[in-house]
Amino acid sequence: MVSVHSSQQAMSLIPASVKILVAGGFGVGKTTLVGSVSEIPPLSTEEMLTEASAGVDDLAGVEDKSTTTVALDFGRITISPRIVLYLFGTPGQDRFWFMWDELANGAIGAIVLIDTRRLETSFAAIDFFERRNIPFVVVVNRFDGAYDYTPDEVRQALAINDGIPVMVCDARKSDSSKLALIKLLEHAMSKLPVE
């Protein structure tokens, strides 16, 4: 439990512009989450999946998805007069891994989205942030037809340690996505050195 005082102290340490990554496998809802919370029209570069890339991208379970983000999603949300969050959705496909280090540069933390029907597609993102000691929260995006695993079941299945928050959200809903952002901010703040 963070006291009001220490949380205010931590808030004062947060820089005015906060960069946050939204990561996870292909089709987990990154573009949707950035779009649901952004106060500016989210920028995203979508490319129609061609026959050629359909062979490269793993489409199992996302057959109705016809576009994919090739560059990145970008959105902005003002959470207080002095704190503005900048959201960067990471490219989901393996062939864009070369961009991740650049994107992670200066980020305060990451939301890793999970689709419980395809847990394994978010392994790589979790591994990336763990290795680099970048604070992250695991957020289960609830899809229709997906079994409702509890956060604890997801934690076990992904072998996520107890210090990392796991929660459920609906990326299409702004309020729900905002709760995930707040969870990440709290988690990242708890990792900041408090003087």
Provide the minimum distance between the beta carbon of 50 and ligand GDP in the complex, in angstroms, as a whole number.
Answer: 16
Provide the minimum distance between the beta carbon of 48 and ligand GDP in the complex, in angstroms, as a whole number.
Answer: 13
Provide the minimum distance between the beta carbon of 102 and ligand GDP in the complex, in angstroms, as a whole number.
Answer: 19
Point out which span in 51-59, 120-128, 135-143, 148-156 binds ligand GDP (CB under 6 A): 135-143
Sheet containing 43-48: give its strands across.
43-48, 67-80, 83-89, 17-23, 107-114, 136-141, 166-169
The 3-state DSSP class for residue 15 equals coil
Contact between residue 107 and residue 94 where contact means Cβ atoms under 8 Å apart: no
Task: Give the integer Cα–Cα distance in Å for 108 and 93.
Answer: 23
Provide the minimum distance between the beta carbon of 37 and Mg ion in the complex, in angstroms, as a whole number.
Answer: 14
Residues facing 110 on adjacent strands? 21, 136
Task: Give the integer Cα–Cα distance in Å for 151 and 102.
Answer: 30
Identify the residue among 69, 116, 122, 176 touching Mg ion (CB under 5 A). 69
Question: What does 102 bind: ligand GDP, Mg ion, none (CB cut-off 5 to 8 Å by kind)?
Answer: none
Helix and strand element counts for the chain (H, E): 7, 7
Residues 24-63 that bind ligand GDP (CB under 6 A): 26-32
Backbone angles phi, psi at 87, to 5 degrees: -100, 130
Question: What does 109 bind: ligand GDP, Mg ion, none (CB cut-off 5 to 8 Å by kind)?
Answer: none
Contact between residue 22 and residue 86 where contact means Cβ atoms under 8 Å apart: no
Question: What does 28 bind: Mg ion, ligand GDP, none (CB cut-off 5 to 8 Å by kind)?
Answer: ligand GDP
Point out which span in 10-18, 50-58, 136-144, 156-164 binds ligand GDP (CB under 6 A): 136-144
Contact between residue 169 and residue 116 where contact means Cβ atoms under 8 Å apart: no
φ/ψ region of 106 (left if φ > 0, alpha if ψ in -120 to 50, else beta) reads left
The verdict on 132 binding ligand GDP (CB under 6 A) reads no
Residues 90-129 that bind ligand GDP (CB under 6 A): 92
The verdict on 172 binding ligand GDP (CB under 6 A) reads yes
The verdict on 31 binding Mg ion (CB under 5 A) reads yes
Question: What does 129 bind: Mg ion, ligand GDP, none (CB cut-off 5 to 8 Å by kind)?
Answer: none
Q: Interface with ligand GDP by CB under 6 A: which residues?
A: 26-32, 65, 69, 92, 141-144, 170-172
